[in-house]
Structures are given as C-alpha cells and as structure tokens.
Amino acid sequence: MKKSSYRVGIVGATGAVGIEMLRVMERRNFPVSSLKLLASPRSAGRGMEFNGSEVIVEALTVESFSGLDIVFFSAGASLSKEFAPVAVNAGAVVVDNSSAFRAHPDIPLVIPEINGADVKTHKGIIANPNCTTAVTLMALAPLHKAFGVKRVFASSYQSVSGAGARAIEELRGQTRHSVENRPVEKAVFAHQIVFNVIPHIDRFEENCYTREEMKMQNEGRRILHLPEFRASVTCVRVPVYRAHSVAVSAEFERPVDVWAAREALRAFPGTQVLDDPGASLYPMPIECAGKDDCFVGRIRKDCALDNGLAFWVCGDQLLKGAALNAVQIAELLLDT
C-alpha cells in the first residue's frame, strides 16, 4: 500500500473519536491527499477543519467509499457491520473502532506496540481494541514479556466520555443541579453519576460479568497471542470527564522483581512510569487526559498472589483507547 499520500475517509467524523482522529492525523502528519468526512444525514453539511482547511461532512451511503484508500470507522458496531464490507469491496482498507469485528478469527485485532505485525494478515479490515483493554495491555504487555502473565484481577474506573458526548453533558448537568440543590436528571446512565460510582458498563452476560468486563480476557488473548490468558474484571463508571484508570493485580509464570518491572515499563514505547508514592506521584486521569502515552504507577509486589504484581494504569480512552491507536494502525499499513 506504499504511496506518497492517501485518500482517507472517516465514518462517524462528528463524534468524539472522529474528531480526535482528525487532530491525531494533523499532529502526526499523516499523509492525506484527500479527506472525506462521513456521518448521519443530520450532520451532513457541517464544516470541520483539517490542516487549516474546511471539509464538509457528507451523509454516509453505500456510494461513499469510491476512490478511498483507508477508511476509519467509529460509528458503532451495527454501521460497521453494514458498511465496512462495502468499503472493502470499493478497494479501501478499513480500521474499525467498534466491537463488530474484534472477535472475528480472520480479522486482526491490533495494538501496534504489542502485535503490530498482525496487520500483515488483514483481508481488508483491521479491528481496534476496546479502550479499557488497550490502556491495560499497554502496561501488561511489557510485564508479560518479562515474567509471563497467567491471569489478572482488575477493576476499571472509566470516565463518562467513554459513553459519548451526551454522558459528558449529563455529568455537567448533574454537577450543576447538585450544587444548586436541585434534583438531578438521568438519561444516559441508569443511576446518578455525579458524586457516585456505577459498577455496571455494558450488558450483563449469563456469567454475571458484563460484555465490557469480558473484553479484557477475550481481546487480551488475541492481542497477546495467549489463548490461556484469564482476566476477572469489574468495570466501574466514575464521575470523571476523560481518561480511564485500571487497578490491576497480575500473576506471572516467573518470579517478579519490582525494579525489573519498572525498567520493562520504561523501555516500552507508549508507556511511562510515574511512580513515587512518597512524593504523592502516581497517574491520575486529570493529568493523563489529552496525552498519547499510558502512565503506570503504584507498582508493587502483590501480597495475595504467587509471583504477583499490583499496579495502576491511566490512559486517555479517546486517544490510545481509540483514535490514536487507529491512526497508528493506519501508519503500519503505509509500510505494507
């Protein structure tokens, strides 16, 4: 696919992830010769800026993909299932940010720093992982390489922006109403989110885990090439605007060493160590929001697991958990 520049499309361009994709491509000087922004009919005609020029949003149709080289999808699984094959048939390579293809055995699921070589096996579609999985594995992958991970126990602390723009507005509105001693209004979440945490993200499955919780195990197995990997996860929505955090206890095949763990994390691209508890230095979402890297701290031996290590990881779910990872996948395509 080597070319000097590429004809790019974004499906879901007006959403939070679509907007981030534009900014990421600008920052990383992605070689775009033409750009087509696609969204629902109600967004058609809206102007969006890219590299100093205005691009008009078009309504998504089956005719939208003619002449495109790469199409980013970020408009939900149902639209990806319907339109991604159409884009492939039109000659484009699709990088999909939804859950539509993540479990498909013939579609690579990729975090470039971990399993970037898997893009070479694509047949037109490459899947972007779940945001919480991506942030967690950016810390877990180098530790797996050092010690051999067997299983993890984790709790996520997921920001409201992971549920979309309406969720952000709901938190803002509930905050304002609470301060003014007025009743809060609920629409996006089943319960009040301001001054609260909700241990429920996505649909509950028969095993009483949610689909969001099972993604770390199911997707982790594919990305780490580790079919026996196990993960017991509780996903929690918290009243934070942006950036997800995950508390992880991991058990490894080999004895762990905290110094070696820190060195492995420091050497891993896209991951930074922020770990000095005595100085109150550890990752927090308010400081990780808007940053490309994932940050790891509170690194210590787990006192309840054999060969165990406990750590805390924070990352911007709109960037490494979505838009940045997608653009990085596309950058790998430029060399294939």
- Active site (catalytic) residues: 131, 244
| H helices, E strands: number in the chain | 9, 14
Q: Note the maximum CA span of the chain.
A: 60
Return d(Cα 310, Cα 218) in angstroms, integer.
Answer: 21
Q: What is the dihedral of CA 194, 196, 200, 202, to 10 degrees?
A: 10
Element at 175 (helix H, strand E): helix 165-179
What tokens were used for 331? 């950058």
Sheet with 149-158: list strands edge to edge: 230-237, 149-158, 244-252, 308-315, 294-301, 271-273
Q: Which of 3, 23, 2, 4 is nearest to 13 (CA)?
A: 23
Return the residue matching tokens 């859950």: 99
What tokens were used for 275? 């770990």
Return d(Cα 13, Cα 135) in angstroms, integer.
Answer: 23
Q: Which of 94, 82, 81, 97 is nearest to 19 (CA)?
A: 97
Q: Which residues are paired to 248 by β-bridges?
A: 154, 311
Return d(Cα 36, Cα 160) in angstroms, integer.
Answer: 29
Return d(Cα 150, Cα 305) in angstroms, integer.
Answer: 11
Return d(Cα 170, Cα 303) in angstroms, integer.
Answer: 39
Query: In angstroms, how far is the first alpha carbon of the chain from the final one?
Result: 6
Return d(Cα 139, Cα 190) in angstroms, integer.
Answer: 31
